[in-house]
Amino acid sequence: MDNKEKKSEVKQSFYKRIISFLIPYKHIFLLSFLLNLLFSFLTAVTFPLFKFVLDLVFQNKIGIQEVPTGDFLESIKVHFYNFITYLINVNGDIKATLLNFGILTILLFVIKNIVKYYANYVSGVLQERLIKSIRDKVFAKLSGISLDYFSRSRQGNIISILTNDVAVLNNTTIINSLNVLREIIQVIINIGFLLSISPYLTLIAFSASIFTVLILRLARKYLQRYAKRMQQYMADFTSTLQETISGIKVIQAYNSEAKANAKFFDDTEKYVKAAIKHKNMTSVVPGLSEIFAIFALCIVLVVGGGLVIDSQIASSDLIVFILLLFGTMGPVNSIVNSIAGFQRGYVAADRVFSVLDAKSNIYSGKVPIKGFEDSIEISNVTFAYENDIVINDISFQINKGEKIAFVGASGSGKSTILDLIVRFYDATTGIIKFDSLNIKDYDLAQYRKLFSIVSQDTVLFNDTIANNIRYGKENATNEEVVNALKTAYCWDFISKLPEGINSNVGDRGSTLSGGERQRLAIARALVRDPQILVFDEATSALDSESEKIVQDAINKSLENRTAIIVAHRLATIIDCDRIYVFSNGRIVESGTHQELLSLNGVYKNLYNIQFNGN
């Protein structure tokens, strides 16, 4: 397959996907199309009406014409004029006929603008529905894709695609296509009238279109290049904005406001430069197109004037021809502008499709699962982020009812093995069995429902306490929410709030202390009554007083449950049934607290550092 065939195939696929967005709204699209079709027709017929004025004023006559045979366009034109004559003619009374013509013209423009209003309204509904539909599809894709996608992508770039690119895709492709369709219809109707007056003059007038097509072909690659830069630079400054807002405390603490500003200013400057180049190109194309159109119009005036002098066409026909020609230039320029802008939509669509086409590396199995009966067995598991091995040939077993702990230095692989067990990622090699069956075979949603996770970085949403807890169980009753809060030692501070569980926690829980946020995360984990509780360094970021309260909440929540605990502070896992010590992606020691101390190895060294200070 050569490059031309590949490009043609890509374009066909692109148009099919664009159309697929329209299918759910085909009725709205059809109504919008019909209204725009009617508007185009009403706009087009306004110019030929002036022939009546010219004939009435300058020739003092108007009447029914004989319909010619053999000339289709001419016969349509005569039928149209005869119909209008029938409506306005008052038995040869020129003044009365002129009055009727004025009334008809006013009525026509009133109807045209009513149609325009409803066409714009329906198009607006279609536009907003399409934007929502596309955004919802992209968001649904992002919410379900495996975590490795986010580790490879910048958050700001994702946000830019979801907000900016979706809007550009809709405005410059789907809605632009509707506008182009409307303008094309008007141009076709106008051309029909022009051809009915003089095919020769029409050919001269539209000779400029050849040059316009050539200009568009030359400009297309530059428009696409600048559009691609615009979308990328927009993603860059959106990413910088997101990072700045997230890290505003760090920026202000280190007096780095000027550095943050400089980066954002540089990103926006790049966008502006690309936007100016794109704007210049989109302005040049219709400008040159108009110059060629005016050149053709002047030739029409000269040649048409000669035809009038030679009595080959009526002067009123030439004037109407010129009016129609002027009326056609606007839609033609609009089409040229839309086609030029379409290149930006093509780039935006490519970025949106890159998200929709992203492949998830985690696939759900089909085997149903309702509970944890026996054990989790990790056998010869290795995991690598691209070429960086994080877990290296690890094997161990977690029995039902056990409390297992993972300890080790930062980056040793203890949190990664949790992600593998919960199936945020899949092992590169080796196998993880849950009750003797590969975890890949289970229904993913049902499998993850067995777990509740409390991590070091507590994520709370800008919502009420009750709704944050219900993230753990959507249909949880108020009683279940309160019981979970009490078990997690949250009730002491919640009961003092004016609105209790209906109090809003603010953005990321900003109205609460670190310990309070962590206890809410435990309550959220408990409300779903999980069979396996996972704590990933849940107390490492807390002060001693908060840590003790949270640790008490953890201990209470662990009663009669299987638990996996990743801990930095060894005091929190002394009572665990087994402790696995990680180092450089491997398990180097395992046993109870006392057994590990007696080995005088890595664990004993960690213990001495924390408790003896040496």
Map 471-515 to HEC letters.
CCCCCCCHHHHHHHHHHCCCHHHHCCCCCHHHCECCHHHCCCCHH
In this model, does residue 96 exceed pLDDT 90? no
According to the model, what pLDDT value does residue 29 have?
Answer: 86
Residue 107, amino acid: L
Report pTM. 0.72
> Average of pLDDT values for 262-270?
84
Q: What percent of the chain is predicted at pLDDT more than 90?
A: 9
Q: Name which of 213-222, 228-237, 492-501 the model is least confident about.
A: 213-222
Question: Cβ(73)–Cβ(195) under 8 Å?
Answer: yes
Q: Are 201 and 301 in contact (CB under 8 A)?
A: no
DSSP 23: G
Alpha-carbon distance of 20 to 24, in angstroms, equals 8
Q: Determine what percent of the chain is predicted with pLDDT higher than 70.
A: 83
Task: Tell me the CA distances in angstroms from 437 to 375, 379, 425, 432, 433, one per residue in order.
Answer: 10, 12, 17, 8, 5
Residue 441 clears pLDDT 90, i.e. is over it: yes
Whole-number Å distance between alpha carbons of 426 and 199:
70
| Average of per-residue pLDDT across 79-94 | 73
Q: How many CA atoms lie within 13 A of 295 on its CB side?
A: 11
Mean pLDDT over residues 21-37, rounded?
87
Query: At 217, phi and psi to the nearest 5?
Result: -65, -40
Is the model's pLDDT at 170 over the cut of 90?
A: no
**Tokens 């979970």 label which residue?**
484
User: Are the beta carbons of 157 and 239 closer than 8 angstroms?
Assistant: yes
Query: Cβ(164)–Cβ(238) under 8 Å?
Result: yes
Give the integer Cα–Cα distance in Å for 324 and 73: 15
pLDDT of residue 328: 78
Of the pLDDT bands very low, low, confident and very high (cuts 50, 70, 90), residue 414 is confident
Identify the band that residue 64 occupies on the pLDDT scale cut at 50, 70 and 90: low
The CB-side HSE value for 193 (13 A sphere, CA atoms) comes to 29
Mean pLDDT over residues 203-222, rounded? Answer: 69
Report residue 432's pLDDT band, with 50, 70 and 90 as the boundaries. very high
Which residue type sits at 184? Answer: I
Task: Identify the pLDDT of residue 431.
Answer: 94
- Which tokens belong to 110? 């009133």
Q: Tell me the HSE value of 385 on the side-chain side, using a 13 A CA sphere.
A: 14
d(CA 423, CA 450): 12
**C-alpha to C-alpha distance for 339 and 344, rounded to whole angstroms:** 10
Q: Which residues pair with 451 in a beta bridge?
A: 532
* Whether 480 contacts 535, CB under 8 Å: no
Maximum C-alpha span of the chain: 121
| Residue 84 confidence class, pLDDT cut points 50, 70, 90 | confident
Please name the residue that has the structure tokens 């100016």.
276
Task: Tell me if 423 sits within 8 A of 439, measured CB to CB.
Answer: yes
- Of 415, 337, 387, 405, whose CA–CA distance to 171 is shortest? 337
Rounded to an integer, the average pLDDT of 69-79 is 70
Q: Token digits for 140?
A: 């649904």
Is residue 1 pLDDT above 70, yes or no? no
- Strand 451-455 with 532-536, pairing: parallel
* pLDDT score for 63: 62
Question: What is the pLDDT averaged over residues 449-464?
Answer: 82
User: What pLDDT sits at residue 406?
Assistant: 92
What is the per-residue pLDDT across 528-574, written as a single tens digit (0 to 9) for each?
A: 888 888 888 766 655 566 666 666 667 776 777 788 988 877 877 88
584 sits in the region (left: phi over 0; alpha: psi -120 to 50; else beta) called: left
Looking at per-residue pLDDT, the higher value among 522 and 78 belongs to: 522
Strand 429-434 and strand 375-385: the pairing is antiparallel
What is the arithmetic mean of pLDDT over 367-386? 89
Q: What is the per-residue pLDDT for 59?
A: 65
Over residues 230-241, the mean pLDDT reads 78
Say what angle helices 175-197 and 26-45 make with each other, to 10 degrees: 30
Does the pLDDT at position 395 exceed 90?
yes
pLDDT value at residue 249: 63
pLDDT at residue 413 above 80?
A: yes
| pLDDT greater than 80 at residue 169 | no
Q: Pick the residue with more confidence: 292 or 34?
A: 34
Which residue has better confidence, 309 or 343? 309
Q: Residue 586's beta-bridge partner residues?
A: 583
Give the pLDDT of residue 487.
81
| 31-35, 496-500, 592-596: least confident range | 496-500
Higher pLDDT among residues 427 and 80, named by residue = 427
SS3 166: helix
Say how far apart CA 569 and CA 558 lie, in whole Å.
18
Nearest-CA neighbor of 265 among 237, 242, 245, 246?
Answer: 237
pLDDT for the residue numbered 522: 83
Q: Is the pLDDT of residue 218 over 80?
A: no
What confidence score (pLDDT) does residue 380 get? 94
Average pLDDT, the chain: 80
Q: Which of 176-190, 237-251, 313-327 has the lowest mean pLDDT?
A: 237-251
What phi and psi, each to the nearest 5 degrees, are found at residue 496? -90, -10
Give the pLDDT score at 228: 76
3-state DSSP call for residue 535? strand
More confident residue, 236 or 403: 403
The burial of 604, by beta-carbon neighbours within 10 Å (0-12 exposed, 13-18 middle, 19 or more buried), is given as: middle
The predicted structure's pLDDT at residue 267? 83
- Is 134's pLDDT higher than 70? yes
Question: Rg of the chain over CA atoms, in angstroms?
Answer: 36
Average of per-residue pLDDT across 98-103: 81
The number of C-alpha atoms within 13 Å of 480 and in the hemisphere containing its C-beta is 16
Q: Is the pLDDT of residue 580 over 90?
A: yes
Tell me the HSE value of 381 on the side-chain side, using a 13 A CA sphere: 30
More confident residue, 590 or 293: 590
**DSSP at 161:** I
**Contact between residue 85 and residue 64 where contact means Cβ atoms under 8 Å apart:** yes
Res. 150: pLDDT tops 70: yes
Output 133-138 pairs: Cβ under 8 A, ≥24 positions apart: 133/21, 133/24, 133/25, 134/21, 134/166, 134/169, 134/170, 134/352, 135/162, 135/163, 135/166, 137/356, 138/162, 138/166, 138/352, 138/355, 138/356
3-state secondary structure 81-140: HHHHHHHHCCCCCHHHHHHHHHHHHHHHHHHHHHHHHHHHHHHHHHHHHHHHHHHHHHHH
